[in-house]
Structure 1
């Protein structure tokens, strides 16, 4: 039996660990696939090894893992975290929102990462809302995006909770905040918390 020790890897070592885990299974993994797998997965060697095992089964009999395989099979943990936050926003329960946000920060998620991921998420919601408004389906949205089906389906459902105007306003608020942070005019954490608070208040007012 193969015994693995799953010590938490340092950030700079993670790509090497992924390649090593793949090699131990007789696989080769492209640099792009390594990058995408690390972006989409938690920095946990046990979980990474499970994902590589899943990718090995998916690609069999091929022993090569590429970006297409990772994109098809590995859901994006970052998006799951953001969906947890935006689901809480729609709950009209400020305490729940604060708890999810704090758990993300406690897990080491940088405020700038939260901001950039929220920008991407809001852009996806805008696309989903546009498809909904013209009577389209989740399959039509999937054809427009390269995201994992879980992400697309969740965005399609969440978009129903917002009007196009609300999403457009939130998206432009996020872009403005992003620019102000780059210029050093805003603290990233305070800016993200302020945006989340505004969304909570908007929900409480019945938008």
Structure 2
């Protein structure tokens, strides 16, 4: 998709694809990441289309280029269509306007003009049989590889829910990090056999001393069939990340480099930083010792795994 046009019009756009387009457009226009100060938003429910194009045609004192978003929950009337057509034909280079419309008559002059100018965005929802291909494409977009069987299993489990696919891939990225290859076993562990949301919520609740919630999540995960040793591994992983976060913060690593230094995806940095204010590094090391002992007990004592896990979870989360 060309990201250099002065106008784009999306019709009944599927949310994930639309969000990706907007992110790519913002990256193209503002490679330094400062798009917020150059962005304006309008809604034709309360704003006039003249206001939209007045903003588009006004040179900003603070930005060489203005990005404008305009939504309409109804079809454009004839006057609005004419105004849009005029702007399409005469737009300058000082702005980009992105319209999100619910309807646009394909028989009309405006639709044909938009199609000819290649500024029509028709992000339709994919069919269920296309989702395996979507899983692969979305993984590649995140810098990951997903095995064919893993992509097929993910598609079978999720159906045609693109936002959910995005969410599951995000969780899988966190689960396998720093590895980049998603296997069938990863999907089985995080998406099919258990809910990745619950696993990460469980470890968060432990660290944040929310004992009752952590125990409830533990019982749910065990009832779902999540292996006890997998949970021990996830808790230990979380504690090691916190230790690396402490060490990076102690060395005053600049914020843009924290994710790489700690070895975590960038979107998780803020969460671990916050948790470092609720626990000490000394406690993290102590809890790792508790988990090592728990691991041995699970493998050797024959006591119920639920009982052993619950005791350790209580110790850490209290």
Matches within 5 A, 1:167-182: 167-182=284-299
Where 1:194 maps in the other structure, the secondary structure is helix
CA separation of 1:47 and 1:123: change in aligned 2, threshold 3 A: farther
The structure with the greater share of residues assigned to helix is 1
CA separation of 1:26 and 1:109: change in aligned 2, threshold 3 A: closer
Matches within 5 A, 1:123-202: 123-184=240-301, 187-201=304-318
Report the CA distance between 1:167 and its aligned residue: 0.8
Where 1:190 maps in the other structure, the secondary structure is helix
Work out which structure has the larger RCO, using CA pairs closer than 8 Å and 6 or more positions apart in sequence.
1
Q: What CA distance in whole angstroms lies between the structure 1 residues aligned with 2:204 and 2:131? A: 35
Matches within 5 A, 1:42-57: 44-46=157-159, 51=165
CA separation of 1:91 and 1:180: change in aligned 2, threshold 3 A: closer
Mapped contact 2:211–2:317 kept (Cα < 8 A): yes
Q: What CA distance in whole angstroms lies between the structure 2 residues aligned with 1:101 and 1:191? A: 12
CA separation of 1:87 and 1:119: change in aligned 2, threshold 3 A: closer
Q: What CA distance in whole angstroms lies between the structure 2 residues aligned with 1:69 and 1:111? A: 24
Q: What CA distance in whole angstroms lies between the structure 2 residues aligned with 1:156 and 1:35? A: 36
Report the CA distance between 1:141 and its aligned residue: 3.0
List per-residue Cα deviations over 1:45-95 (Å, max 9, x = no partner): 32786638x99xxxxxxxxxxx7597xxxxx87764344224433555533
Report the CA distance between 1:125 and its aligned residue: 1.0
Pick the aligned partner of 1:97 from 187, 204, 214. 214
Report the CA distance between 1:148 and its aligned residue: 2.4
Mapped contact 2:202–2:217 kept (Cα < 8 A): yes
1:118 paired to 2:235: yes
Q: What CA distance in whole angstroms lies between the structure 2 residues aligned with 1:150 and 1:134? A: 21
List per-residue Cα deviations over 1:13-54 (Å, max 9, x = no partner): xxxxxxx84358997x99x6238967xx798232786638x9
Runs (4+) of structure 1 exceeding 6 A deviation are 24-27, 35-38, 76-79
Which blocks of at least 5 consecutive residues in structure 1 are unaligned? 6-19, 56-66, 71-75, 202-207
Q: What CA distance in whole angstroms lies between the structure 2 residues aligned with 1:154 and 1:190? A: 29
List per-residue Cα deviations over 1:103-128 (Å, max 9, x = no partner): 32233322221111111111111111
1:88 paired to 2:205: yes
Mapped contact 2:132–2:155 kept (Cα < 8 A): no
Q: Which structure has the greater CA radius of gyration?
A: 2
With structure 1 as the length reference, what TM-score do the two structures score? 0.59
Q: What is aligned with 1:4? A: 128
With structure 2 as the length reference, what TM-score do the two structures score? 0.41
The structure with the greater share of residues assigned to strand is 2
